[in-house]
Amino acid sequence: MKEEELYQLLNKMTLDEKIAQLMQLATPFFKGSSTRGHITGPMKEMGVSESVIEHTGSVLGASGAREIKAIQHRHLEDNRLGIPLLMMSDIVHGFKTIFPVPLAIGCSWDLDLARQSAEVAAKEAAVSGIHVTFAPMVDLVRDPRWGRVMESTGEDPYLNGEFARAFVQGFQGEDLANDMYSVAACVKHFAAYGAVEGGRDYNTVDLSERHLREYYLPAYKSALEAGCEMVMTAFTTINGVPATGNRTLMNDVLRQEWGFEGVIISDWGAVKELIPHGVAQDLKEAALKAFRATVDIEMMTTAYIDHLKEWVDEGVVAEGEIDQAVMRILRLKNKLGLFENPYRGADEQLEETVVFSPSHRQMAKALAVKSCVLLKNDGVLPLDQEQHLALIGPFADNGDVLGPWSWQGSKMDAVTLRQGLASHISEERLSVAKGCGIQSVNEAEMMAALQAAQTADRIVLALGEASEMSGEAGSRTAIKLPKPQIELFKRLKALNKEIVVVLFNGRPLDLSDIVDEADAILEAWYPGSEAGSAVADLLMGQENPSGKLTMSFPQTVGQVPVYYNHFNTGRPLNAPDAQERYVSHYLDSPNDPLFPFGYGLSYSTFTYAQVTSTASTIKKGETLTLTVEVTNTSDRPGEEIVQLYIRDHVGEVVRPLKELKGFKRISLQPGESCQVQFDIKEEQLRYTHADLQWKSDPGAFTAYVGPNSEHVTAVPFQLMD
Ligand code: GLC
């Protein structure tokens, strides 16, 4: 449809029909849905009329070509003007083929594979009838107590922005209207949901605007610069006002300052939650607050359909303002080609061949291999397939490796670690025993595990968190492994056998109970559908670990938040003149994390020669190039992620000790060297000043190059006026 045809359609709509377009309901409300009528609890209390349903703008959580075609078909029969529904769902890291959780994908530092994973997710979702995905989630995270850190790519604004771009490009492709394998993306949760106090979900967020802009906003902006079609509001507050009712954030920053003209959708129930937040006395006021924040679609509450018309009748809201919101929704439907083809990519036949295809699963495995992070290896890895292995632990043969946002993914289809290892080790050399539950003790299972370990040469101990211990509403105050698992570890350690710990979990854990005595630790996160085959290939040496952390592992939860791009403070612990006591430190813990941002081991070893620089000063418009020779000094081909950090020694505001400004994945054969180069320009030295201006200051800087954020070579340089 042309723009003027959309306006013609708009002008035919009644006010009620316009307001209904601003509503999003879950599938049980819709005729044609297999769950039609399964309206219980809060949904039942919504009291939504059939007429509203027939004119609702979008559906939450539908999937399946047949189901979606049936819903759309019935809707088009009832909708007076034949306006098609938008089908929106959460495809966060895969549809049916589940990729590693985003925090794991972040640790791959492989933007191209990340983009490809979103392409595959979009393809499987599109042939299943879905039009929009509620992803990427790009909330910056620094607190592993928060359950949703698994959904983010980590603690660095630059890296999160690079992944945001990659995911949006993967989901949306180049041509939403004609590419039937694409879906529109919806970046979330705007803004700074990851900064919840105490890591407790839905809790208060309160940051200075400068800090918000410097660290939390960049990744959302990157997603929008990549063309992301939608934005979802955060449940949380910014400057004391919930995002969903925050006109300054949603209109002034997002729409006016950034020029975002797309659709804003509330998170589930977030409009009505303005009441318990205490900024709206009732649903009518909540409707006005959200509408004034230019939220276009209200997800699963009825403030708009119950009260917007009253605001129009009272002359507080002009119908023309309603028209603007409706037009943004109609434009999105038009961009997706829904007026010409309301069924878009839905195709039962293609579903059969595309969804969960071998090639998709192969890609999920490849990304899982790159997402695992080898945290410790005292030489016990890779394993020798001639040896007798005892695979023990609650995750030894457990399909709960998809993570909490796997929706259409099936744990039954996931490859378990036992299945993965069985393809490397003959049955008689592989003993398997659970030893304990994820959070439960079982003495019989413990005895069986000890028995299996007795006769084995080595132990692979598969531990971790159940997926419901992570994800939304999955915050934990103690971020250790559950006690039964630590007990299992200690009982096995008493056998004096080498133990390789594999972790399946959704957050950086407090590993203080096992880190010293484990002979190796492989962080696998929730690796997805091909978990077992990817991890087994890594353990057996068929693959070489290359992942590097994008979120710090604390020594203990008492250190949280601990992140690499922190400030120096006025009393830094490691200052030359640091006093014994009166410095910024703990009496009972180091300041440094257990494992820092950017850290990860390989079976290969890499050396970094001296870093050379083309200049010691630069001005605007000039480029300084750093070169470092990296050599694979092992006998095994390997990949290394070389990282560039920069420090601004003196700013108008305090500046982090290091900020990631670039990285390069390199692949080296045994003995091979390569020259890795990084360009530094003035643009990379800019930051948010006290007056919120984004600019650089002349002065002293240091560039750092190395394999992680701690082990680096320093190269000082000056930015001249
Ligand atoms: C949830 C999540 C959001 C998700 C939405 C729809 O509450 O906060 O990320 O997209 O509801 O399922």
Residue of the CA atom closest to atom 8 of ligand 1 = 267
Would you state the pLDDT for residue 41? 74
68-110 pLDDT tens trace: 999 999 999 999 999 999 999 999 999 999 999 999 999 999 9
Confidence of residue 213 (pLDDT cuts 50, 70, 90): very high
86 neighbors 229 (Cβ within 8 angstroms): no
Place of tokens 């295809």: 357
**What is the C-alpha separation between 164 and 111, in angstroms, rounded?**
9
566-597 pLDDT tens trace: 999 999 998 888 888 999 999 999 999 999 99
Domain 604-719 classification at class level: mainly beta
Determine the distance separating the centroid of ligand 1 and the alpha carbon of 299, expressed in angstroms: 9
Would you state the pLDDT for residue 266? 98
Looking at the chain, which residues constitute the CATH 2.60.40.10 domain(s)? 604-719
Cα pseudo-dihedral 337, 339, 344, 348, rounded to 10: -170
**CB distance 267 to ligand 1 below 6 Å:** yes
**CB distance 663 to ligand 1 below 6 Å:** no
Residue of the CA atom closest to atom 12 of ligand 1 = 90
Would you state the pLDDT for residue 46? 82
242 neighbors 196 (Cβ within 8 angstroms): no
**Strands 389-392 vs 458-464: parallel, antiparallel or unpaired:** parallel
Residue of the CA atom closest to atom 1 of ligand 1 = 268
Cα pseudo-dihedral 173, 179, 180, 182, rounded to 10: 10
SS3 content of the chain, % helix, strand, coil (to 5): 35, 20, 45
340-364 pLDDT tens trace: 999 999 999 999 999 999 999 999 9
The CA-based angle 324-346-44, given to 5 degrees, is 60
Residue of the CA atom closest to atom 10 of ligand 1 = 134
**Rounded mean pLDDT of 553-563?**
97
Higher pLDDT, 187 or 46: 187
Instruction: Classify each residue of 202-234 as buried b or exposed e, where b means 16 or more C-beta atoms within 10 Å of its C-beta.
Output: beebebeeeebbbbbbbbbbbbbebbbbbbbbb
Share of the chain above pLDDT 90, in %: 95
3-state SS assignment for residue 26? strand
Q: Of the residues 268, 299, 300, 472, which should be mutated to test ligand 1's pocket, given the most ligand atoms within 8 Å of the CB? A: 268
**CB distance 188 to ligand 1 below 6 Å:** yes
Closest Cα partner for 61 from 29, 37, 16, 27? 27
- Cβ-Cβ contacts under 8 Å for 351 (sequence gap 6 or more): 64, 65, 127, 128
pLDDT > 80? residue 44: no
Q: What is the pTM assigned to this prediction?
A: 0.98
Would you state the pLDDT for residue 43? 75
3-state secondary structure 616-669: CEECCCCEEEEEEEEEECCCCCEEEEEEEEEEECCCCCCCCCCEEEEEEEEEEC
382-398 pLDDT tens trace: 999 899 999 999 999 99
Catalytic positions are: 267
**What is the C-alpha separation between 111 and 122, in angstroms, rounded?**
16
- From first CA to last CA, the distance across the chain in angstroms is 52
**CB distance 134 to ligand 1 below 6 Å:** yes
9 neighbors 329 (Cβ within 8 angstroms): no
DSSP character at residue 254: I
Average pLDDT over all residues of the chain: 97
Measured in degrees and rounded to the nearest 5, phi and psi for residue 87 equal: -105, 115
**CB distance 701 to ligand 1 below 6 Å:** no
Read off the tokens for 250: 């949603």
Determine the distance separating the centroid of ligand 1 and the alpha carbon of 579, expressed in angstroms: 49
**Rounded mean pLDDT of 35-45?**
77
pLDDT > 90? residue 45: no
Confidence of residue 503 (pLDDT cuts 50, 70, 90): very high
pLDDT > 80? residue 490: yes
What Å distances lie between residue 719 and 276, 615, 689, 702, CA to CA?
A: 50, 11, 17, 10
- The closest-lying atom of ligand 1 relative to the alpha carbon of residue 151 is 9
- The closest-lying atom of ligand 1 relative to the alpha carbon of residue 90 is 10
Determine the distance separating the centroid of ligand 1 and the alpha carbon of 128, expressed in angstroms: 20
12-36 pLDDT tens trace: 999 999 999 999 999 999 998 988 8
- The closest-lying atom of ligand 1 relative to the alpha carbon of residue 189 is 9
**What is the C-alpha separation between 401 and 120, in angstroms, rounded?**
19
**What is the C-alpha separation between 404 and 500, in angstroms, rounded?**
25
- Cβ-Cβ contacts under 8 Å for 684 (sequence gap 6 or more): 646, 661, 662
135 neighbors 543 (Cβ within 8 angstroms): no
What Å distances lie between residue 305 and 247, 280, 286, 290, CA to CA?
A: 20, 17, 12, 13
Closest Cα partner for 535 from 409, 381, 408? 381
* Residue 583 CB-density burial (10 A; 0-12 exposed, 13-18 middle, 19+ buried): middle
- The closest-lying atom of ligand 1 relative to the alpha carbon of residue 188 is 9
**CB distance 190 to ligand 1 below 6 Å:** no
3-state SS assignment for residue 501? strand
**Strands 237-238 vs 241-242: parallel, antiparallel or unpaired:** antiparallel
